[in-house]
Amino acid sequence: MLALLLPTGVFLLYKNAVVAQVENLVARHCARETLQTWGLAPTPENLDLYAAMSGTRKPAARPAPVAPTTNEFFTAHWRYTDLWRDRPLTIGIYNQNQTDAEQLFKTLTVPAALQGKVLLHNLATERAFLEALERDDMVMFWGHANYGRGLFFDPARGGHGTLQLGRELITVPRDHLETNDLIVTATDPDRVLVRCSVGALAKLTVRCKVFWCLACRSEVYYRDMWTNQYPYCHLVATHFNWKHSNNGRVLAELLAGLEQRRSLADIIENFNANHTDEVLPGRFTEIHMYNNHTNHHARLLSLY
Tell me what the mean pLDDT of segment 78-87 comes to. Answer: 90
Residues 160 and 171 in one domain: no
- Whether 68 is covered by a domain: the verdict is no
N- to C-terminal Cα separation, the chain: 69
Residues 99 and 187 in one domain: no
Q: Which of 111-125, 195-209, 264-278 has the lowest mean pLDDT?
A: 195-209
Residues 161 and 176 in one domain: no
Residues 127 and 89 in one domain: yes
CB 258 within 8 A of CB 277: no
Q: How many other β-carbons are positioned within 10 Å of the β-carbon of residue 198? A: 11
Residues 160 and 114 in one domain: yes
pLDDT at 294: 87
Domain count, the chain: 2
Q: Which residues of 57-86 are buried (b: 16+ CB within 10 A; e: fewer)?
A: eeeeeeeeeeeeeeeeebeeebebeebbee
Residues 185 and 135 in one domain: no
pTM of this prediction? Answer: 0.83
Residues 247 and 140 in one domain: yes
pLDDT exceeds cutoff 80 at 202? no
Q: How many other β-carbons are positioned within 10 Å of the β-carbon of residue 301? A: 24
Residues 209 and 88 in one domain: yes
- Whether 23 is covered by a domain: the verdict is no
- Whether 31 is covered by a domain: the verdict is no
- Whether 100 is covered by a domain: the verdict is yes
219-249 pLDDT, tens digit per residue, is 999 999 999 999 999 999 999 999 989 999 9
Residues 185 and 248 in one domain: no
CB 283 within 8 A of CB 296: yes
Range of the structural domain that residue 173 is part of:
167-200
Residues 132 and 225 in one domain: yes
Q: Which residue has the higher pLDDT, 12 or 123?
A: 123
Q: Which residue has the higher pLDDT, 40 or 2?
A: 40
Tell me what the mean pLDDT of segment 144-155 comes to. Answer: 91
Residues 281 and 172 in one domain: no
pLDDT at 200: 58
Residues 189 and 255 in one domain: no
- Whether 22 is covered by a domain: the verdict is no
